[in-house]
């Protein structure tokens, strides 16, 4: 039913459309070209605008909002530099398939192509890093194009969509009517899974002696956790969850082997290497998972389930390809598997259990009197628990957060997996807190990452978004330094973030406590193991402001296990120089 | 051996730009490009000849086919190229 026409402007239609689409939060910064949109936004009772301090923060906040809520995240910026500052978060959301809509102002249509003030061809420059993009030059088109953008962002394989709107289109008079008819002739609906392929996959699984379910972020995107659980328990197959899928299957479940990949658990990595069947569900055989691709899971047949047909066969040929929504495919697979028995897999589980016992995740204790970064992260997870939401930056602390936080529930682990965007954690946590105000939201950040986007703590303080930030301060770009230790003869070129002197003191430049206090946060420092619990207690009990804890940790801790870049996964080292002894599988 | 791809797309400059950018970004050099209308004003046809890329050309077609502005993408049979 069409509602009566409302006379308004393009800007008014933009805000009305956001309201009708159910948008409750927009992260952004006004500027010249987008200014008309901000006027009606002031009067909207349904759309909250969070005024960030840098557009990159708006983009990552929209991503964090989307990852924590499952809804489309929205960010807004003006033309030129405002828009170009969104390029990094758009690329980030693209590689991690996060539904985000970015709305940018553009110079008036008549000035396009004239190198006008704050003109940038943002549509052109974001083409490789967005699922789709639009430039709107007519006020009448705004509701339809925005509705299409939201539909595209959330449909099939999710992703970011750009809507660039010229200033004159925002200013022009128009009428608003809702709903609108979408015009997307090129959009293919998600197909129903091919029944024959589903049966073939179920048969392969029933016959497999050494299967592994290789679960990727697509399961979380499809909210297919319950379906995965049912399928895994019915078939009894072991499960590995990638960095993007942590929480999609409870880490404490007895069938869970951990995370595969460069810093995955020995058991998860080796299980894939020795598998005779890999069932990939919403996973893309990323190089950080496979290591050298020609050595990855060489003896395995592959069932590849993905909503995006272009992913199937991209990095690894599939014996049984299944295109479809993960939840739908898993339901059908479970039904098909229930008709079949399965072979005896006790030998496989005995081997897996032996690896789990022999090579559990762990870490060396820090030198006497010093805090270990892994210890901080593990303890933080115990204090905040599996119901908290965790966002990580990128680097060593990210891998330790992946290894040692309690990943039990969906949508509680926010992470920049594909692009590896340092600076992601603080704004993503901010977005998650806006989406889930009742949840405890922790950003686990490095001192390098934190200095890239910490200005959003001002936003958090002023907008009532009391996130908590653990700065794992080792005074170094830790992951790069680890590679320099291992592969560059300990030549530490430009990875030191502290001013010199005491290498165990993290960095005090900046002084994170004073910096955080200056941004309106409650700030604490912890540099002794005996203070850890007390500091975490204080951090957990402050809920009226953002909290920043400067955890000063020793700089020589390294992330293990590790598969060196370019090496095959059989070369995994459980610790430095320690290659596990797997023996031979006899079946 | 170059491959000739036949693409039906939305008749907009944006759709064309995305296709060209995708070919470059995925590592397939464009050797020849023909863009023209069809009987329908909203639909255009593109023929693009690409040189060898890092992966079989079918991977490029799959990437093209998922673009929102692309209605259909396919590799033309080798004979079609030989006849040119």
**Is B11 an 8 Å CB contact of chain A?**
no
Mean pLDDT value of segment B33-48: 96
Q: What is the predicted pLDDT for the residue at A586?
A: 46
Q: φ and ψ at A374, to 5 degrees? A: -65, -40
Mean pLDDT value of segment B41-65: 95
Q: φ and ψ at A60, to 5 degrees? A: -70, -35
Q: What is the ipTM of this complex?
A: 0.94
Residue B79 domain flag: no
pLDDT band at B78 (very low <50, low <70, confident <90, very high): confident
CA atoms within 13 A on the CB side of A99: 22
Which ranges of chain A have pLDDT less than 50? 1, 584-587
Q: What is the predicted pLDDT for the residue at A585?
A: 42
- Residues from chain B contacting residue A188 (CB–CB below 8 Å): 66
Q: What is the predicted pLDDT for the residue at A587?
A: 45
Please report the domains of chain A, with CATH numbers, ordered by start residue: 6-176 (3.40.50.970), 195-358 (3.40.50.1220), 373-552 (3.40.50.970)
Between the CA of residue A282 and those of A199, A255, A309, B63, what are the distances in Å? 19, 19, 11, 17
Residue B20 domain flag: yes
Cα A317 to Cα B56: distance, rounded to the nearest angstrom: 12
Residue B27 domain flag: yes
Determine the longest span between alpha carbons in chain A, in angstroms: 76
Between the CA of residue A154 and those of A52, A147, A199, A410, what are the distances in Å? 24, 11, 29, 18
| Structural domains in chain B (count) | 1
Active site residue A55: yes
Residue B11 domain flag: yes
Residues 6+ apart with CB under 8 A from A263: A399, A402, A403, A559, A560, A561, A562
**Is A340 an 8 Å CB contact of chain B?**
no
Active site residue A131: no
Counting beta carbons within 10 angstroms of the beta carbon of residue A492, is it exposed (0 to 12), middle (13 to 18) or buried (19 or more)? middle
> Given an 8 Å threshold on Cβ–Cβ distance, is A186 in contact with B69?
yes
Q: Can you give the residue range of the structural domain that contains B3?
A: 1-32
Q: In what order do the strands lie in the sheet with A100-106?
A: A48-51, A25-28, A73-77, A100-106, A160-166, A132-136
**Is A167 an 8 Å CB contact of chain B?**
no
Residue B51 domain flag: no
Of B58, B62, B71, Cβ closest to residue A186 = B71
Residue B1 domain flag: yes
Q: Are A250 and A279 in contact (CB under 8 A)?
A: no
Residue B59 domain flag: no
Q: Are A327 and A206 in contact (CB under 8 A)?
A: no
Residue B9 domain flag: yes
A91, A113, A127: which to substitute to probe chain B, counting the most B Cβ within 10 Å? A127
Q: What is the predicted pLDDT for the residue at A505?
A: 72
Active site residue A404: no
- Assign A478 to helix, strand or coil: helix
**Is B18 an 8 Å CB contact of chain A?**
yes
Q: φ and ψ at B41, to 5 degrees? A: -65, -25
Alpha-carbon Rg for chain A in angstroms: 25
Residues 6+ apart with CB under 8 A from B20: B30, B33
- Residues from chain A contacting residue B68 (CB–CB below 8 Å): 131-132, 152, 184, 186-187
């Amino acid at each position: 039913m069409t509602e009566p026409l409302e006379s308004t402007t393009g800007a008014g239609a933009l805000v009305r459309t956001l309201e009708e689409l159910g948008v409750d939060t927009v992260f952004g910064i006004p500027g010249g070209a987008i200014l008309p949109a901000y006027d009606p936004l002031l009067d909207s009772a349904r759309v909250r605008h969070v005024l960030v301090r840098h557009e990159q923060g708006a983009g990552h906040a929209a991503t964090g909002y989307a990852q924590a809520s499952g809804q489309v995240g929205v960010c807004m910026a003006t033309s030129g530099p405002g828009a170009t500052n969104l390029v990094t978060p758009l690329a980030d959301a693209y590689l991690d398939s996060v539904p985000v809509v970015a709305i940018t102002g553009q110079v008036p249509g008549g000035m396009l192509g004239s190198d006008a003030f704050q003109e940038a061809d943002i549509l052109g420059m974001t083409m490789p890093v967005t699922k789709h993009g639009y430039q709107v030059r007519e006020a009448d088109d705004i509701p339809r194009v925005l509705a299409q953008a939201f539909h595209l962002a959330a449909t099939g394989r999710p992703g970011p969509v750009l809507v660039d709107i010229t200033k004159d289109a925002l200013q022009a008079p128009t009428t608003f009517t809702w709903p609108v008819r979408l015009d997307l002739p090129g959009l293919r609906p998600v197909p129903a899974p091919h029944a024959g392929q589903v049966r073939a996959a179920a048969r392969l699984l029933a016959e497999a002696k050494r299967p592994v379910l290789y679960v990727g972020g697509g399961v979380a995107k499809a909210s297919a956790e319950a379906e995965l659980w049912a399928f895994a328990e019915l078939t009894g197959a072991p499960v590995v969850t990638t960095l993007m899928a942590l929480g999609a299957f409870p880490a404490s479940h007895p069938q869970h082997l951990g995370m595969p990949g460069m810093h995955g658990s020995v058991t998860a990595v080796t299980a894939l290497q020795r598998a005779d069947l890999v069932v990939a569900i919403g996973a893309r055989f990323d190089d950080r998972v496979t290591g050298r691709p020609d050595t990855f899971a060489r003896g395995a047949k592959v069932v590849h389930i993905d909503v995006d047909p272009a992913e199937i066969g991209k990095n690894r040929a599939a014996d049984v390809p299944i295109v479809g929504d993960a939840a739908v495919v898993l339901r059908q697979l479970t039904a098909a598997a229930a008709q079949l028995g399965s072979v005896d897999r006790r030998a496989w589980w005995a081997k897996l259990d032996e690896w789990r016992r022999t090579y559990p995740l762990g870490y060396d204790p820090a030198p006497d009197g010093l805090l270990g970064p892994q210890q901080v992260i593990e303890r933080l997870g115990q204090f905040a628990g599996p119901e908290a939401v965790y966002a990580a930056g990128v680097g060593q602390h990210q891998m330790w957060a992946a290894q040692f936080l309690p990943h039990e529930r969906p949508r509680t682990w926010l992470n920049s997996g594909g692009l590896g965007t340092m600076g992601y954690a603080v704004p993503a946590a901010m977005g998650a807190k806006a989406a889930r105000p009742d949840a405890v939201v922790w950003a686990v950040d490095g001192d390098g990452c934190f200095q890239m986007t910490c200005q959003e703590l001002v936003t958090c303080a002023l907008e009532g978004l009391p996130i908590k930030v653990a700065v794992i301060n080792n005074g170094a770009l830790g992951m790069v330094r680890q590679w320099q230790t291992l592969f560059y003869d300990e030549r530490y070129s430009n990875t030191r973030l502290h001013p010199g002197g005491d290498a165990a003191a993290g960095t005090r430049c900046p002084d994170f406590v004073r910096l955080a206090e200056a941004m309106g946060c409650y700030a604490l420092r912890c540099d002794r193991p005996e203070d850890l619990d007390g500091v975490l207690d204080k951090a957990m009990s402050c809920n009226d402001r953002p909290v920043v804890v400067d955890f000063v940790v020793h700089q020589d801790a390294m992330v293990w296990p590790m598969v060196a870049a370019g090496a095959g996964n059989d070369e995994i080292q459980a610790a430095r120089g320690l290659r596990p002894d797997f023996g031979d599988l006899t079946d | 051996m170059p491959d000739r791809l036949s693409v039906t797309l939305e008749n907009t400059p944006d759709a064309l730009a995305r296709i060209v950018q995708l070919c470059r970004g995925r590592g397939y050099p464009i050797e020849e490009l023909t863009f023209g209308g069809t009987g329908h004003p909203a639909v255009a046809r593109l023929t693009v000849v690409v040189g060898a890329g890092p992966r079989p050309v079918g991977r490029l077609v799959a990437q093209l086919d998922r673009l929102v502005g692309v209605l259909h993408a396919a590799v033309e049979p080798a004979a079609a190229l030989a006849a040119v």
